Amino acid sequence: MEEQYPKQALDKFRQWHFWWLVVFSVLLIVTFVYYLPARFLNQLSVNHHMMEDMHDEEIDEHADEHMDEFSEEEMMKDNHGDSENHGEYVYHEEGDVKNGPVVNLKAYPEPFNTSEMLWLDFAVNTKPESTPVSYQDLQITSEKLMHVIGVRSDMNEFFHVHPRINGDVFTIGTQLKKPGRYKIWSEIKKDDVIHVFGHPQINITGSGATEEKEVSFGRNVILGPYQISLDHNEPIAVGENELFFSIKTLTGGGVELGSYLGEPMHLTIIKDDLKNLIHTHPSSHEADHSFYLINQAKAHGEIEDGHEVPQEVLEFTVNFPEPGLYKAFAQFLPAEFENEDGEPEPFLAEFWLEVKGGEEAAVTKTQDPWWALLVVSVVLIVILGLIVKKYITVK
């Protein structure tokens, strides 16, 4: 070669060749070391930063009138917290409590049926003497002193309401429009501990089916103009698990979430034997501000101009106490409904979850450890690189 071309030209060529290799290497490094892994992690929704000062919103104007008696500081303390700051969480069945705080439920008028209003009185007291507990001794969680959650035995009917203070008790009237057996729970916070009390089941009579249980493990549901998807590691095992919810428009666009009871989403998870309830809020909340090398061309023919609402991903850390079937009820309020007159009704997305026990989960989990996939990928990339290098080497 040096005989055909002058040395100067060859030097120039080598210089160009060198810089070409540098640029090409940089491109490969950016693509394979940064861009593709970043996109991959983003799609898996596992790389969320912790939420920072998410909830600066004011207390809802429809909050219980007695809320005025609580200091603003206390309200803000609750509203600024993530799930870890909501306090210790203890589950009880009403009849099992022999000591400490308990909530007793009285439902009336009997017999209960679908055509009449069902009134529920919740009396907070301390066992064993049944000493009444004043509402002033309770703390606010998610803007309310008491949350009441109920489901029908087939988990098809769900309600989440907030009784008002009525003398010594908390009272609410509700009309259950479908017959069947209903389980009701109340949740209060006292001395920085969140207590959830399961109350005896109530049988509501009326026309129509009392049980229509249908289990489906769909991970995408449509509610009006929104689609809600749930993502989680497989399998869900007893213990701590992360659940990721994302809310999009039907054409895949982002949805700005408003505040529903001080949180972007309330998640209630109930075991199908009605013996356990978990009520939690996002541990992290992040908009998908992915780094895109090119503009995103959307299937509906539009190109993102940078002004669209980013997709929100809400992360929950949930501790499942035992294996079995659970149903998750996710309540949220898009920002466009936040300022509606009256108390806006939240959207409710429902998902069935199967939680596997220790050994069963461990066997399945060993099939999909992320680090194993990473190691295998790196080894395969190195082998492929060596083979390609050998293939293109000029002898």
Partner 1 sequence: MTNKYFIILGLAILIIIGGAIYRKYILPESSLPVQTGKTINVAVVAERDEWRFTPEEIIAERGDKIIMKVVNEDDYDHGIAIDAFGVSQRMPANSTITLEFVVTQEGEFPYYCSVPCGEGEVDGAKRTHFDMIGKIKVKPAL
Say if strands 88-93 and 193-198 run parallel, antiparallel, or are unpaired.
parallel
For residues 337 to 376, the per-residue mask of contacts with partner 1, x marking binding by CB under 8 A and - elsewhere, is: ---------------------------x--xx----x---
DSSP code per residue over 22-34: HHHHHHHHIIIII
What is the distance between the alpha carbons of residues 114 and 208, in angstroms, rounded to a whole number? 10
In the bound state with partner 1, the residue whose beta carbon lies nearer, of 27 and 388, is 388
391 near partner 1 (CB under 8 A): yes
- Least separation, in Å, of the C-beta of 233 and partner 1? 9
What is the pattern of x (binds partner 1, CB under 8 A) and - over residues 176-215?
---------------------------------------x
Q: How far is the CB of 78 from partner 1 (least distance, A)?
A: 34
CA distance 248 to 253: 5
Q: Are 149 and 184 in contact (CB under 8 A)?
A: yes
Residue 97 vs residues 71, 163, 207, 275: alpha-carbon distances, Å:
30, 22, 36, 15
Residue in 87, 179, 198, 235 binding partner 1, rule: CB under 8 A: 235
157 exposure class (CB count in 10 Å sphere: 0-12, 13-18, 19+): middle
Identify the residue among 26, 28, 44, 222 touching partner 1 (CB under 8 A): 222
Which of 23, 250, 362, 378 binds partner 1 (CB under 8 A)? It is 250
Structural Rg of the chain based on CA atoms: 28
For the bound state, the minimum distance from the C-beta of residue 227 to partner 1, rounded and expressed in Å, comes to 6
227 binds partner 1 (CB under 8 A): yes
- Shortest Å, Cβ 249 to partner 1: 9
CA torsion through residues 98, 104, 105, 109, sign: positive
Between CA 307 and CA 290 the distance in angstroms is: 14
Instruction: Tell whether residue 32 is a contact of partner 1 (CB under 8 A).
Output: no
Size of the residue set binding partner 1 (CB under 8 A): 28
Across the strands, what pairs with 343? none
Give the amino acid at 331: Q
Nearer to partner 1, 9 or 372 (CB): 372
Residues forming contacts to partner 1 in the complex (CB under 8 A) are 215-222, 227, 229, 234-235, 250-252, 299-302, 364, 367-368, 373, 380, 384, 387, 390-391
